[in-house]
Amino acid sequence: MKEKENSKDKLIKTASRLFQLQGYHATGLNQITKESGAPKGSLYYHFPDGKEQLAIESVHLTAQFVSEQIVEGLNKSSDPVKAIQYLIEGMAERFQKEGCKGGVPIASVALETALISGPLRDTCQSAYRSFQAQFTQKLVQSGFEENRAKELGVVINSMIEGAFLLSFTSGNCEPLLLVAKQIPVILD
């Protein structure tokens, strides 16, 4: 049973990385199987519904990782402005070190599949809601009214997502740093 769990985990982690780097449509099941080192039969054993099911599991894994990174970043300060700035600056630093090698966590899958796959759209939407909820929670803990905190959670997450896309297209972390710089204005 342990071998099956290992194969499943390998497939999910490999698919997650490839979907982030190449997108959903450019990533094939043969490539995922080959790069994961898992037997081809294990792909269909663990994911009988195919690529879509594997992508859903991959988005879940990625969302969990990103949520943990957000929580870790937000816990660096009790001041929400500083905490969010630290988080974004940390993202910018990682981007500067890794460049485009890290891919975009969920955006590529969301953009490619939102109009063709309800289950994937719902999974991506749930991931984004969990990110927004982390910002909302931080703001509520800091005294923001809940509805305002929810709105700001969406705005902050949207700004970060947009800055990531601009960073990828420009090849530098300047858009992320600009977003971090504007956090005090938004939270004023």
The answer to which of 20-34, 39-53, 88-102 has the lowest mean pLDDT is 88-102
Mind listing the domains of the chain with CATH numbers?
52-186 (1.10.357.10)
| Close Cβ partners of 13 (under 8 Å, ≥ 6 residues apart) | 36, 61
pLDDT digits (tens, 9 = 90+) for 134-188: 999 999 999 999 999 999 999 999 999 999 999 988 999 999 999 999 999 999 8
How much is the pTM?
A: 0.90
Residue 2 has pLDDT above 60, yes or no: no
Residue 103 has pLDDT above 80, yes or no: no
Segment holding 183, helix H or strand E: helix 174-186
* Mean pLDDT score across all residues of the chain: 92
Q: Report d(CA 145, CA 99) in Å as an integer.
A: 37
Q: Report d(CA 10, CA 40) in Å as an integer.
A: 12
